[in-house]
Amino acid sequence: MLSRVAESLYWMARNVERAEDLARLIDTTAMRSVDHAGDAAERWSSVYRIAGVPPPEATELLTRATAIEDIVFGIESRLSIAACVRIARQNAVGVRAELTTEVWECVNGLYLFVEAHSPRAVGPDGASTFLRSIRDTAQAFGGLCDATLAHDDAWEFLRLGRALERARMTARVLAEIEPDDGPHVWQLVLEACCASAPFARAQRQSSDPAEALAFLALSANFPRSLRFCVREVDTALHSLSGAPTGTFADAAERISGRICASLDFAGTGDLMREGARAFATGLGTQLDELGSTIGATYFPRIPVA
């Protein structure tokens, strides 16, 4: 497979995943801010930091409306949802021959939907419906990729991009946790990671922050936990290289294997001693290194003489 095709597939998946995650994060924060108005400004500041979008100077004025304007539709930011959807669609155009009609229509439909809206058109009454439409369409994209594409190298690059972006987002969310944050903050974190119901089933309604952190970091079967996502990345890399699991054929597999091992052998006590923020920040740095190494391994930039 051509490097440019692989890169387009990888970034298409990453950008659709980011759009989904940010839409869910904004919608969840808005709903929780109604019940806990006292710390709403700080929660919205966290959303801006997670998104990597600079907030307005008057952070006490942050609301869902400002988040939609800046994080969803931010014209100058390549990190906004609108920018992610636009980039994903551009990538899809370049690899149209690799996609099924269903996958293409999903990406194109998401692009047309976002482009047809603006902060004023969305308005306060339609914000939740708008954000959930983005979330649902992005989730449909993942399902269509799994259900209609051959699970060949093209699909592995899609899986690789989706899993890495998902892991990075979970790490960003956990990095915003303060040691004294109460149960309502952890509930928001679980909902932002689509983990509220799975955690409740696994822990029988426990609201212990230590258990919530362990679930989001170390669960072997929850598809948005750090451990699960990094294992997906590692599996995709080994499928692409053909190297046996547990070995490494390149620098990317060495890093993914190292992260997998650290998560496989970590325990709840280890996480609590280090703290959610320090743990997630450190892992985020490793994931960024992994992303850069994947780029250097599979999408090398050839210098122009």
pLDDT at 261: 97
Q: What is the mean pLDDT of the chain?
A: 93
Query: And the tokens for 291?
Result: 């992303």
Report the number of distinct structural domains present in the chain: 2
Q: Is the per-residue pLDDT at 304 higher than 60? A: no
Under the banding of pLDDT at 50, 70 and 90, the label for residue 125 is confident
Q: Is the per-residue pLDDT at 94 higher than 60? A: yes
Q: Is the per-residue pLDDT at 36 higher than 70? A: no
96 in a structural domain: yes
Q: Are residues 213 and 116 in the same domain?
A: no
Q: Are residues 258 and 295 in the same domain?
A: yes
| pLDDT top residue among 72 and 64 | 72
Cα dist from 31 to 105, 134, 291, whole Å: 31, 17, 33
Task: Give the domain extent around 32.
Answer: 1-149
154 in a structural domain: no
Q: Is the per-residue pLDDT at 41 higher than 70? A: yes
- 96, 88 contact by CB (below 8 A): no
Question: Mean pLDDT lowest for which of 198-202, 216-220, 278-282?
Answer: 198-202
C-alpha triplet 220, 27, 203: angle, nearest 5°: 30
